[in-house]
Structures are given as structure tokens and as C-alpha cells.
Amino acid sequence: MTKNQGKGTPPRSKDVEAHLPMSAAIMEQFRQQLLEMKADLQAQVRLDQQAQKPVELDQARVGRLSRMDALQGQQMLQEVARRRQAKLQGIDGALRRTESGDFGECFVCGNPIDPRRLAVDPTSTRCIGCVDSE
């Protein structure tokens, strides 16, 4: 009537659970999160475009140092814009993966990425193991 009791090996349900494919509901949550991130970024881009008219320097009134400041400021803004663009591309890629069903899989090893990691950054494309081994 008893079968293999007292062997001391508990069922590894936790591990099994962690490797199940992501449920559609969770996938949808990430998709919404990504869409919100994208909308936020796009709103920032629009705001910047309104605020960031090409720097017109009045040679007569602006001293050399101020011109340098203005140019440095412009470079910083370009850097911010570039990073924002890269982020947007990451978000678009992740959104495509939620549609194709690949979302949450590591690009390198194909294992599921820890959902806690995805919650922090849904655009993650590598599991923690592959990031660490870089």
C-alpha cells in the first residue's frame, strides 16, 4: 500500500513550474508593460522635438564659451536621443516576440528568462546565466 515513501526526495515541482512556457495571461501583462514603456518614450521624444529647436547661435551676442556650452548641450541631447532610440528598438523587438511566442526566451541558450528579470526589464533578451558569462 505504500510506494517508495521515506526516500527523502521531495518532488521538484518548483523547477518544473519555472520551465513551463509562459502563460498567455502573463505574456499579455508584459505586452501591456511594453506598450506603456513605448508610449512613454514616444511622448518624451515628441516633447524633446518641440523643445529642441536647432541651436541658433547669435554670433554677435553669444560669447565663445556659451557657444561651446550650447554645443555640448546639443551633443548630450543627441546622446540621450540615441539611447532612447535603442530602447525603442528593444521594445519593438520584445513586442514582436510577444506576438510570435518567443518572448521570454534567452537569445543565447534558448532557456526561459527569469520572469523577475523580465518584470524589471521586459526587453531583456538573455537569461542571467548568459549575461553573467559575458
Task: Tell me whether residue 37 or residue 127 sits nearer to Zn ion (CB atom).
Answer: 127
Please report, as ranges, the residues that interact with Zn ion according to CB under 5 A: 106, 108-109, 127, 130
Give the nearest distance from C-beta 129 to Zn ion in angstroms.
5
Give the nearest distance from C-beta 20 to Zn ion in angstroms.
17
Give the nearest distance from C-beta 131 to Zn ion in angstroms.
8
Give the nearest distance from C-beta 132 to Zn ion in angstroms.
9
- By three-state DSSP, how is residue 32 classified? helix
First-to-final CA distance of the chain: 52
Task: Tell me whether residue 41 or residue 93 sits nearer to Zn ion (CB atom).
Answer: 93
Q: What are the start-end ranges of the H helices in the chain?
A: 13-18, 24-51, 64-100, 115-120, 128-132
Task: Tell me whether residue 43 or residue 109 sits nearer to Zn ion (CB atom).
Answer: 109
Q: Which residues pair with 112 in a beta bridge?
A: 105
Longest CA–CA separation in the chain, Å: 98
Task: Tell me whether residue 106 or residue 118 sits nearer to Zn ion (CB atom).
Answer: 106
Residue appearing with cell numbers 512556457: 21
C-alpha cell, 52: 529642441
